[in-house]
Amino acid sequence: MGRGTIALLTKEIPADKRILITFGGGSVKKNGVYDQVTEALKNHNTVEFWGIEPNPSIETLRKAIELGKQEKTNFLLAVGGGSVADGTKLIAAGLLYKGDAWDLVKLRKPITDTVPMATVMTLPATGTEMNRNAVISRYETKEKYGIAANYPVFSILDPETTFSLPQNQIAYGIVDTFVHIMEQYLTVTGVSRPMDRWAEGLLQTLVEIAPKIIDNPTDYNLMSDYMLSSTLALNGFIALGGVPQDWATHQIGHELTALHGLAHGHSLAIVLPGTMNVLRAKKGDKIIQYGERIWKIKEGNRNERIGKTIIKTNEFFRSLGLTTHLSEEGIGYETVNEIERRFNERKVAFGENANVTGAVAKLILQDRL
């Protein structure tokens, strides 16, 4: 991590590798990242694949896998945001898988063999640079699922690459980072003091830097703090020591993205306040701890404190310029019912208590209409 670190690619990737470099839609050509990568790898054997879209699709990734097989690729380098990195994780598995790579996603076939991959990250949000998750979509059926794929062998994080991010992507990225922490924090009290305070330290950092970043998106120190927070939010550390995890908000958010194309972080800003409200009986003690330590809410009875804390969380997301209700995005009952139907059909129940069934997801979404 740091300024100028893209140049390290030259020696980090062995000279004899046949590298497939993967990109998104072209932001890296405008901000100089592409030039830095090609300069660093000018003496390596490289092939490029362009066009991995936000919420990477199996339809596109199949083409990349075909190209990689033709070129006998034995190293992958993802250059871009979480979507390029996640897509490349699936390519890494797909290159060594005999069937259709969608099996690895939909049927959750275990991923055992992968081609080594690395990342150059240009968008802080997902933590994918230091975790093994990949979230893959299938556009033709409007599906989106997360899987355990593979870890990058290394990742490069130069905060200067983020200076070209538009405001909306920064807002989505901050919310995504915030909600990753919440999914591993907002469950029960008293499990782990160090992990609670680790999570709270990251939440406080985000609350402190977010308004400053909106005003100064090219401030190196601010973007550096944001980038590091995103990595630390979802690299497995907060979940150490048996900390319970939720992830219901993410699962509901994925459906909103699959059905309506909402950006990932935006879907979370809409859903999280509903999860907090509907599950306030079970999560109440932790919501009160979070409200007190992050938002300084100390007055009122239990219900009032919980209510104020949810309002503060919602206001934080709105202060980043995001809408937080389904109706503001033209989404209504039809979608609420469809998500309930999908969860019921898959017989899933998410959350730390495995109680977020289709019916509970419906209550959460109704709360956000």
> Using CB under 6 A as the criterion, which residues of the chain lie in contact with ligand NZQ when the complex forms?
24-28, 31, 54-55, 80-84, 86, 122-123, 125-128, 131, 133-135, 161-162, 164-165, 169, 172-173, 176, 234, 250, 264
The size of the interface with Zn ion (CB under 5 A), counted in residues, is 1
Interatomic CA distance for residues 129 and 314, integer angstroms:
28
In whole angstroms, give the CA distance from residue 183 to residue 316: 17
Q: Which does 185 bind (CB under 5 to 8 A by kind): ligand NZQ, Zn ion, none?
A: none
Beta carbon nearer to ligand NZQ, 116 or 280: 116
**C-beta of 97: minimal distance to ligand NZQ in Å?**
19
State in angstroms the smallest separation of the CB of 234 from Zn ion. 7
Between 49 and 178, name the residue whose CB sits nearer to Zn ion.
178
Q: How far is the CB of 353 from ligand NZQ (least distance, A)?
A: 21
- From the list 129, 176, 183, 246, which residue makes contact with Zn ion (rule: CB under 5 A)? 176
The verdict on 129 binding Zn ion (CB under 5 A) reads no
Tokens 């995103």 belong to which residue?
Answer: 230
Measured from the CB atom, the residue of 203 and 297 that comes closer to ligand NZQ is 203
To the nearest 10°, report the CA torsion of 266, 65, 120, 267: 10
143 vs 176, beta carbon nearer Zn ion:
176
Burial (0-12, 13-18, 19+ Cβ within 10 Å), 75: buried
d(CA 249, CA 183): 8
In the bound state, the residue with its beta carbon closest to Zn ion is 176
Q: Cα 285–286–292 angle (5° rounding)? A: 95
Which x/- pattern, by CB under 5 A, does the window 134-173 give for Zn ion?
----------------------------------------
Distance in angstroms (rounded) separating the CA atoms of residues 21 and 88:
9
Q: Which of 291, 331, 282 is nearest to 315 (CA)?
A: 291
CA atoms within 13 A on the CB side of 278: 21
What residues contact 314, with CB distance under 8 A and at least 6 apart?
273, 324
Helix (H, G, I), strand (E, B) or coil at 136: strand
Q: Which is nearer to Zn ion, 37 or 322 (CB)?
A: 322
* Shortest Å distance, C-beta 89 to ligand NZQ: 7
274 binds, among ligand NZQ, Zn ion, none (CB under 5 to 8 A by kind): none
Q: Which residues pair with 21 in a beta bridge?
A: 48, 77
> Which of ligand NZQ, Zn ion, none interacts with 81 (beta carbon under 5 to 8 A by kind)?
ligand NZQ
Q: Which of Zn ion, ligand NZQ, none binds 160 (CB below 5-8 Å, type-dependent)?
A: none
Strands 117-121 and 75-80: parallel
For residues 60 and 128, which CB has a smaller minimum distance to ligand NZQ in the complex? Answer: 128
User: What minimum distance in Å lies between the beta carbon of 201 and ligand NZQ?
Assistant: 20
Three-state DSSP state, 62: helix
Binding site partner of 165, from Zn ion, ligand NZQ, none, Cβ cut-off 5-8 A by kind: ligand NZQ
C-beta neighbour count of 354 within 10 angstroms: 10
Name the token pair of 23. 């990109």
Residues of the shown chain interacting with Zn ion in the complex, contacts defined by CB under 5 A: 176
